[in-house]
Structure 1
Amino acid sequence: MLKKIIYLSLSVAFLATGIISCKTGDVARAENKAVPAEFAGAVADSANSASVKWKQFFTDPNLTALIDTALQNNQELNITMQEINISQNEIRARKGEYLPSAGLRGGAGVDKVSRYTNIGALEHNIAIVDGKENPEPLQDYTIGAYATWEVDIWKKLRNSKKAAVNRYLASVEGKNFMVTNLISEIANSYYELLALDNQLAIINQNIGIQTNALEIVKLQKEAARVTELAVRRFQAQVLNTQSLQYEIKQRIVETENRINFLVGRFPQHVDRSTETFDNLVPQVVQAGLPSQLLANRPDIRQAEFNLEAAKLDVKSARARFYPQLGITAGIGYRAFDPSYIVKPQSLIYSLAGDLTAPLINRNSIKAAYNTANAKQLQAVFDYERTILNAYIEVANQISKVSNLQSSYELKAKEVEALNQSSAISNDLFKSARADYMEVLMTQRDALESKFDLIETRLQQMNSMVNIYRSLGGGWK
């Protein structure tokens, strides 16, 4: 009879499972991993700079020292490290859910019932030990062990644990992506600091040149060769250049403090190279193949792990529609007197199993299932968006490297031409063959062209750093 009941219950449960399964189809959409065979404007080659470690990619010892310090002290990175620990604990929690749970239990109590009730009258007339009636009030002592276990038939709990593992791996990749961005941000700020130092040196040099020109104009005024207007215009030019000096100094302070923030320390001087910024030459970065982005970019791998977790969440949510099998067991001793607690007659035990399946009012389960499906689609779109963004970033930087190189070459020629023009205008002015406005305009154009040349070189260095980051380099 018991077997018939069990078989009947299982049959009903599996029938309900079949009916439910027909109504809970996944809203699935396969992710698109396809990428072009090569980057636009680049020759297809498997050589990839992303495999180069950052200590080999950046050779300036001052820059590498800053990066080393940042990897230890950056607060945002340390916060992310704690997110990884949280994800690890989530795995332990999910693993514990599908393993049996066991514990010890002990208890003591007292119970007094009225004799003028059916239970009280019955207990009064029953002798338990040595012909004696029940003690009054009745004490109750219990010791024992118990265990509970939800049998994970449909892998609901296992899939939940696997999803937690994938989210842990995603958090690790998130940390790697942050490391890549942190390194590139420090490198870009460092090169900006070198550029500002170079601009400050140029300003100081121009202040000297303009001051000498001012003195010459004053002498010419005394000789009645120019008017007071020329003196005032030259003086204004000197003052304007001197004001630029303090603007550059302020930008240097702010850039230093930005670096100090990234490395996790209070404002202080940032040690840096004294080499002329123009002498820095950006190294050649090999882009490799677009398909290599899937393995090298931490943000793509993070999106991939999140997608796998979302798929497992759908499976776990679907399993909630199916029958759940739970087993409980217990064993111990129970008696009304502590002296009887270990007697064989005081032994108690229990074993029970229950099979439950939702039939009506499943709105909360359906809502959770639909939400899991929607999140899975979100993860698919996010994964595809991340791949597309990575490809475009690299393509943009490849084009930028080429265009900046051509721009730098032309600007270098412009600086050379304007330097010669400045010298010629000064000579012509001394011999009264050129107007002072021509001298001032030429000096201003020469200064601006030098600043533009430094700015172009800075963009080249930043582009070198950014393409290295876009390829997925820096976290290894």
Structure 2
Amino acid sequence: MRAVGLIAAACAVLAGCAPAARVGSMPPKVALPAGWSAGETAQARAWPDRDWWSSFGSAELSGMVESGQAGNLELAAALARLRQAEGQARIAGVALLPTVDFYSGSDRSLPLGSGSTSTSASGQLHIAYEVDFWGKNKASVAAAAASLEGNRDDRQTIELTVTSAIVSTYLQVLSLHDRLASARAHVANAEHVLKLVQAQRSAGAASPLDLARQRSVVAGQQAAIPELLQQQREAQSALAILLGRAPQTFKVADHGLDTISLPHVTPGLPSELLARRPDIRRAEASLAEADANVDVARAALFPNIRLTGALGAQSSALLSLLNAPNLVANVSASLMTPIFDAGRLKRERDIAIARKQELVQVYRAAVLGALAEVGIVLGQIHSLDEQRKLKTVELEEAKLAFDLAEIRYRVGAEDLMTVLDTQRALSDVQNDLGLLKLKRLQATVSLYKALGGGWQADAVAGAAAGGAPRPG
């Protein structure tokens, strides 16, 4: 007991030299703009709902997202990693508790000559506890907790990415359906002109060159259909893989983008990204983990204090094992401090500090990257809206030009080249407008993703224990 008292007194003195715990320090500040340069009106809700994909107004799409949440293989792997991190966090917490072990044994002696047989047995309960004067164990627990939080954020980032990919790929499949319908309409239109040229040729008003040119146009329009069909098959296969299903058993219903609503999303304030983007929160969790690891490395420079105790019994008579005269107890304390390690512990501390400094810059880069991503998508949406307005006007004029050219060709007031030019221009404008519609819808998906979707940090706590959280 006197030895224990001396060691405890020494620990109290050394505790005054221990570094103050800094676990849970705030992330560094990053200068944020007051608003977005290409911001939209603030009349709509500033943040998307957690089921933001339902804003596109497609029950089929909502069903696919739910199927993807349950069947995507990458998400399943991320959930398994999250459960591993939870196990590591629980293991780290064990260091704050004492360890208890029980040892037992027995011995039986059989004399070869005279004498009687004797039996002895022993048992001992061993208790050990490391006094966490320097906060090393507490910092280790904090590092494991931050790592767990980072794994939750990683899973949410994957979930948001997969959900966005499902929506974007689904829109691509519908767009290809529209493009196929448009391509078939172009073929029908070209065949209609071909019949007109054939009639003109029969009447002697068209040359063989005119007939060959129009036949070439028809063949070219028909050649575009197999390529579009292949693109549609590839897009459907990619969508099936995202849903965790075999492409051979998967097919999207035959309808186009006219069944999809264009949702309106406002970006909110730039500062809200710090709480809503899972990749930013992941960088913040990594910084917190590195901060705790600095405390672990610093505490390793100080002595380890370990208290142990034992309670046991030993007897030559097995039945009297637990009698009071046979009980033995002891209590001890030990102190181990590094004296010479060639600077290893100090270098490990320096490495931990440098790692933290690195992650400070990673965090700042993540914030700036998120701000840039949202700004770029907002600018893209504004640009696509302007292009669609102008392209719609161009389409109306192209239709009028083609109709007039066809009428004038029938009466012999225009040559076939003018009809072909207006026909080609109409086909190109229709294709461009279809692609712009797809780009505009996919830009909305990108905006949802850039804003962090509808994800909230408190909605995914304990995700591995309670099942997969709903994605953002």
Q: TM-score, normalised by structure 1?
A: 0.85
Q: Measure, in 2, the Cα distance between the counterparts of 1:274 and 1:457.
A: 15
Cα deviation, 1:420-475, whole Å, max 9, x if unaligned, reads: 22222222222333332222222122111111011111111111111111111143
C-alpha distance 34-260 of structure 1, shift in aligned 2 (>3 A) = same
Q: Measure, in 1, the Cα distance between the counterparts of 2:63 and 2:356.
A: 42
* Aligned-pair CA distance for 1:225: 2.6
Quote the residue 1:448 is aligned against: 428
* Aligned-pair CA distance for 1:342: 4.0
Q: Contact 2:58–2:260 (CA<8 Å) still a contact in 1? A: no
Q: Measure, in 1, the Cα distance between the counterparts of 2:245 and 2:12.
A: 67
Cα deviation, 1:44-81, whole Å, max 9, x if unaligned, reads: 85951235642553321111111011111111111111
1:36 to 33, 36, 39: 33
Quote the residue 1:77 is aligned against: 75
Cα deviation, 1:286-344, whole Å, max 9, x if unaligned, reads: 11110111111111122212211111111111111111100111111224564664454
Quote the residue 2:467 is aligned against: none
1:328 to 308, 323, 339: 308
* Aligned-pair CA distance for 1:13: 7.1
Cα deviation, 1:58-115, whole Å, max 9, x if unaligned, reads: 3211111110111111111111111111111111101112200002111246899xxx
1:256 to 232, 236, 249: 236
Q: Measure, in 1, the Cα distance between the counterparts of 2:36 and 2:377.
A: 11
Quote the residue 1:6 is aligned against: 6
Number of equivalent positions: 449
Q: Measure, in 2, the Cα distance between the counterparts of 1:340 and 1:90.
A: 44
Moved more, 190-199 or 345-354: 345-354
Q: Contact 2:50–2:453 (CA<8 Å) still a contact in 1? A: yes
CA RMSD of aligned residues (A): 3.1
Q: Measure, in 2, the Cα distance between the counterparts of 1:10 and 1:253.
A: 75
Quote the residue 1:188 is aligned against: 168
Larger Rg: 1
Q: Contact 2:67–2:243 (CA<8 Å) still a contact in 1? A: yes
Q: Measure, in 2, the Cα distance between the counterparts of 1:144 and 1:394.
A: 65
C-alpha distance 175-230 of structure 1, shift in aligned 2 (>3 A) = same
- AA paired with 2:205? R
Find out whether 1:465 has 2:463 as its counterpart.
no
Q: Measure, in 2, the Cα distance between the counterparts of 1:9 and 1:290.
A: 53
- AA paired with 1:57? S
Which structure 2 segments of 5+ residues have no match? 455-470
* Aligned-pair CA distance for 1:11: 7.4
Quote the residue 2:181 is aligned against: 201
Q: Contact 1:151–1:325 (CA<8 Å) still a contact in 2? A: yes
Moved more, 440-449 or 262-271: 262-271
Q: Contact 1:44–1:289 (CA<8 Å) still a contact in 2? A: no
Q: Measure, in 2, the Cα distance between the counterparts of 1:53 and 1:30.
A: 30
Quote the residue 2:193 is aligned against: 213
* Aligned-pair CA distance for 1:261: 0.9
Q: Contact 2:3–2:333 (CA<8 Å) still a contact in 1? A: no
Alignment of 1:54-133 (within 5 A): 54=52, 56-108=54-106
1:270 to 237, 251, 258: 251
* Aligned-pair CA distance for 1:348: 2.5
Cα deviation, 1:144-184, whole Å, max 9, x if unaligned, reads: 21111111111111111122112212222222222222221
C-alpha distance 235-192 of structure 1, shift in aligned 2 (>3 A) = same
Q: Contact 1:69–1:263 (CA<8 Å) still a contact in 2? A: yes
Moved more, 339-348 or 226-235: 339-348
| Paired residue secondary structure (1:361) | coil
Q: Measure, in 2, the Cα distance between the counterparts of 1:220 and 1:74.
A: 59
| Paired residue secondary structure (1:10) | helix
Find out whether 1:318 has 2:318 as its counterpart.
no
Q: TM-score, normalised by structure 2?
A: 0.86
| Paired residue secondary structure (1:49) | coil
* Aligned-pair CA distance for 1:41: 2.5
Quote the residue 1:115 is aligned against: none
Q: Contact 2:314–2:327 (CA<8 Å) still a contact in 1? A: yes
Q: Measure, in 2, the Cα distance between the counterparts of 1:276 and 1:322.
A: 67
Cα deviation, 1:272-299, whole Å, max 9, x if unaligned, reads: 473554x855222111110111111111
Q: Measure, in 2, the Cα distance between the counterparts of 1:438 and 1:71.
A: 53
Q: Measure, in 2, the Cα distance between the counterparts of 1:424 and 1:195.
A: 30
Q: Measure, in 2, the Cα distance between the counterparts of 1:370 and 1:193.
A: 53
Quote the residue 1:163 is aligned against: 143
Identity over aligned residues, as a percent? 22
Moved more, 316-325 or 335-344: 335-344
Cα deviation, 1:351-403, whole Å, max 9, x if unaligned, reads: 11101111211533223222222221222122111111111111111111111
1:291 to 271, 287, 300: 271
- AA paired with 1:79? A
Q: Measure, in 2, the Cα distance between the counterparts of 1:317 and 1:156.
A: 8
- AA paired with 1:89? G
| Paired residue secondary structure (1:38) | coil
Q: Measure, in 1, the Cα distance between the counterparts of 2:364 and 2:64.
A: 35
| Paired residue secondary structure (2:154) | helix
1:351 to 331, 345, 350: 331
* Aligned-pair CA distance for 1:238: 1.0
C-alpha distance 12-85 of structure 1, shift in aligned 2 (>3 A) = closer
Q: Contact 1:62–1:273 (CA<8 Å) still a contact in 2? A: no
Q: Contact 2:405–2:418 (CA<8 Å) still a contact in 1? A: yes
Q: Measure, in 1, the Cα distance between the counterparts of 2:4 and 2:436.
A: 85
- AA paired with 1:14? L
Q: Measure, in 1, the Cα distance between the counterparts of 2:7 and 2:102.
A: 33
Q: Measure, in 2, the Cα distance between the counterparts of 1:6 and 1:323.
A: 15
Q: Measure, in 2, the Cα distance between the counterparts of 1:153 and 1:348.
A: 30
Cα deviation, 1:8-49, whole Å, max 9, x if unaligned, reads: 98179729x84x979xx99x9962333111111226859512
